[in-house]
């Protein structure tokens, strides 16, 4: 597993696959991935943390920045693959009020189709 954030696209949905460690060192590739998806004009972004088992406060700060940028550009942000602990941390920093937590990518795609 690399240390980079990898982007994928499916129709108007973009996905960002986060690495095992999400820290300040993740910022550059995370924004590269986000900017690629933004240029592709995706309407929703899924933050995939299924491979992540360590998010520190700087990494969570990075997620906050990405979410702020995405929402201000009119995109809906989903997140999945988070353990209950990181769901709690996301709640503590207010992220869960701004993003939609889903259990996996399939659920996210279903919700995008419904909306």
By CB under 8 A, residue 23 contacts other proteins: yes
Q: Hey, what are 88's tokens?
A: 């709690």
Query: Which residues, numbered 96-115, are part of the site for other proteins (CB under 8 A)?
Result: none
Candidates 8-16, 23-31, 44-52, 99-107; binding stretch for other proteins (CB under 8 A): 23-31
The reply to whether 58 sits near other proteins by the rule CB under 8 A is yes
> What distance in Å separates the CA atoms of residue 50 and residue 72, rounded to the nearest whole number?
25
Q: Select the residue interacting with other proteins from 8, 32, 51, 61 (CB under 8 A).
A: 61
Q: How far apart are CA 7 and CA 81, in angstroms?
A: 16
Does residue number 62 form part of the binding site for other proteins (CB under 8 A)? yes
Does position 68 interact with other proteins (CB under 8 A)? The reply is: yes
Q: How far is CA 35 from CA 63, 87, 88, in A?
A: 14, 25, 28
């Amino acid at each position: 597993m690399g240390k980079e954030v990898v982007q994928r696209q499916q129709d108007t949905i973009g996905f960002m696959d986060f690495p095992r460690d999400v820290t300040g060192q993740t910022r550059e590739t995370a924004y590269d991935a986000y900017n690629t998806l933004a240029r592709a004009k995706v309407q929703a972004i899924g933050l995939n943390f299924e491979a992540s088992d360590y998010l520190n406060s700087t990494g969570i700060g990075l997620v906050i920045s990405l979410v702020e940028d995405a929402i201000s550009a009119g995109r809906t942000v989903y997140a999945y693959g988070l353990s209950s602990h990181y769901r709690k941390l996301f709640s503590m920093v207010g992220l869960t009020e701004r993003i939609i937590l889903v259990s996996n990518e399939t659920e996210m795609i279903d919700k995008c189709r419904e909306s």
